[in-house]
Amino acid sequence: MFKFSYFFKIILVFICICSFFSFSYADDIMPEEDDFDISSYLNSDIEASSNSSEFPTINSRAYVVIDRKSSTVLVGKNEYAKKKMASTTKIMTSLIIIENCNLSDTVTISKKAANTGGSRLGLKTGDKITVHDLLYGLMLRSGNDAAVALAEYTSGSIPEFANLMNKKAEELGLTNTHFVTPHGLDQDEHYTTAYELALLTNYALNNSKFCQIVGSKTYTITINGYPRTLTNTNELLGVLDGVYGVKTGFTNGANRCLVTSCKRGDMDIVCVVLGADTKKFRTQDSIKLINYSFSNFSYINISEIIDDEFNKWKDNNCQKFNVYKGISNNVELYYTKPFSDFIPVKKDLQNKIHVYISCNFEQNAPLLKDNKIGNISIYVDTQLQYTLDILVKNTVEKKNIFDYLYDFCFNFKYCFNGLFK
């Protein structure tokens, strides 16, 4: 009886420990999935099917691929829906640190940071480590303990650091993104969208230090003077052609997430997958979306197309302006330039670019310089891609009493001369 009771207690403790780790796990250190062979996917029909024009089957609940040059969405599903983001949160965390902190400073790890659950760098209370090395622990090993240590170092507390994160999100125009923590463990008010996460990543990749960190397959840090080599959790880095970052993620609420940057030739993209059921699916999905994008899209010079159409339109229409009570009807025009001269368009749609120009020819004086009086709409097939403003290049002043007197005299002279010819 004693032995059975003792054995039962051991089993109960084991179940509790397993339940704890199942509940608190974050990021990609999932033993049951770590042994899958990525090369088998790269050499399978997945790559071949992605090279066709047929869109692949995707498991992830939300995804998007954007072109880095123009921020154009190439493909997406539920890309504007609010989702949990897990450890992809750390893209913003690292950005805040890089932009605001001295990376050579030394941080002493607090008890709170050391006791943070989920994926960990393995920091202990009282450990000493530089901000620079904490960043590598944050982005390569996805250390939640490193995230808390950095937040406390920067702002004194997690809530204050979250305020910095949300301020930056607002600055970047991320209206459907909100941060509560620096690590991304599940919170109801901690969310983003696939599209806004791609925009954030695109911005972060403009920072050379961020690029260097997320592009490192391995890196040796120092804790308390002792070296430790870290390996990046990003399974596509150094494996899939062109991949140079960015960040993995997993929580029970978010499921598997992956943000990937990839450059091939002159095309540079960010791919985001959120809510994949397994690590294998998120890897498959990312490979499919990346290969599909590079195989089916290429750049066109959209500025050249718009210029040609706009100049033709001006030649045929600028004489139609009537500026009521203006000193003349001479209206010069220009338009706001697109974000990028080149945009990616599906290869089978590149002969279906349509430019529609609309303008109000009846204007009241004074007509001021830079007033908007029309727009240019650019469609790819039936899909609206951009709307650009048509603006006035010159000011047309309103007539004053002397202008009216001059007109009267001129007209009178014209009529008088006509009578006595």
Q: Which residue has the higher pLDDT, 336 or 7?
A: 336
Tens digit of each residue's pLDDT (9 = 90 or more) over 80-113 = 999 999 999 999 999 999 999 999 999 999 999 9
378 by Cβ neighbours in 10 Å (0-12 / 13-18 / 19+) ranks as buried
Whether 250 has a pLDDT exceeding 50, the answer reads yes
Tens digit of each residue's pLDDT (9 = 90 or more) over 324-343 = 998 999 999 999 998 889 99
Residue 59 has a pLDDT of: 96
Residue 23 has a pLDDT of: 39
Tens digit of each residue's pLDDT (9 = 90 or more) over 395-413 = 999 887 665 566 566 565 5
Cα torsion 201, 202, 207, 210 to 10°: value is: 30
Instruction: State the catalytic residue, choosing from 90, 168, 247, 279.
Output: 90
Are the C-beta atoms of 171 and 163 separated by less than 8 Å? no
Q: Please give the domain boundaries of the chain with CATH numbers for all domains.
A: 26-49+56-296 (3.40.710.10), 321-401 (2.60.410.10)
Q: Return the sign of the alpha-carbon dihedral for residues 230, 236, 238, 243.
A: negative
Tens digit of each residue's pLDDT (9 = 90 or more) over 362-384 = 999 999 999 999 999 999 999 99
Whether 34 has a pLDDT exceeding 60, the answer reads no
Compute and round to an integer the Cα radius of gyration of the chain.
Answer: 30
Phi first, then psi, for residue 158 (nearest 5°) are -65, -45
Are the C-beta atoms of 129 and 109 separated by less than 8 Å? yes
Counting residues of the chain whose pLDDT is more than 90, the rounded percentage is 80
Tokens of residue 3, six digits:
């032995």
Tens digit of each residue's pLDDT (9 = 90 or more) over 151-205 = 999 999 999 999 999 999 999 999 999 999 999 999 999 999 999 999 999 999 9
| Residue environment code for 399-412, b if the CB has 16+ CB neighbours within 10 A, otherwise e | beeeeeeeeeeeee
Residue 32 has a pLDDT of: 43
Instruction: State the catalytic residue, choosing from 87, 119, 155, 261.
Output: 87
How far, in Å, CA of 189 to CA of 349, rounded?
40
Residue 38 has a pLDDT of: 73
Q: Is 87 a catalytic residue?
A: yes
Residue 339 has a pLDDT of: 84
Residue 386 has a pLDDT of: 87
Whether 71 has a pLDDT exceeding 70, the answer reads yes
Supply the mean pLDDT for the chain.
89
Q: Which residue has the higher pLDDT, 34 or 92?
A: 92
Mean pLDDT of the 119-145 span: 97
Q: Minimal CA–CA distance to 290: which of 142, 68, 84, 81? A: 68
Cα angle, residue 391 at apex, residues 390 and 392 outer, rounded to 5°: 135
| Cross-strand partners of 258 | 248, 273
Q: Minimal CA–CA distance to 373: which of 415, 309, 315, 321? A: 321
349 by Cβ neighbours in 10 Å (0-12 / 13-18 / 19+) ranks as middle
Residue 375 has a pLDDT of: 97
Mean pLDDT of the 272-286 span: 96
Range scoring the smallest mean pLDDT among 33-47, 49-63, 95-109: 33-47
Tokens of residue 91, six digits:
């893209």
Residue 22 has a pLDDT of: 37
What is the pTM assigned to this prediction? Answer: 0.85
Q: Is 142 a catalytic residue?
A: yes
Instruction: State the catalytic residue, choosing from 142, 261, 286, 293.
Output: 142
Q: Is 77 a catalytic residue?
A: no
Crossing angle between the packed helical segments 90-100 and 194-204, to the nearest 10 degrees: 30
Whether 421 has a pLDDT exceeding 80, the answer reads no
Enclosing H/E stretch for 403: helix 401-419
Query: To which residue do tokens 């920091």 refer?
Result: 123
How far, in Å, CA of 112 to CA of 91, rounded?
22
| Cross-strand partners of 62 | 274
pLDDT band (50, 70, 90) for residue 25: very low
Are the C-beta atoms of 306 and 335 separated by less than 8 Å? yes
Residue 8 has a pLDDT of: 55
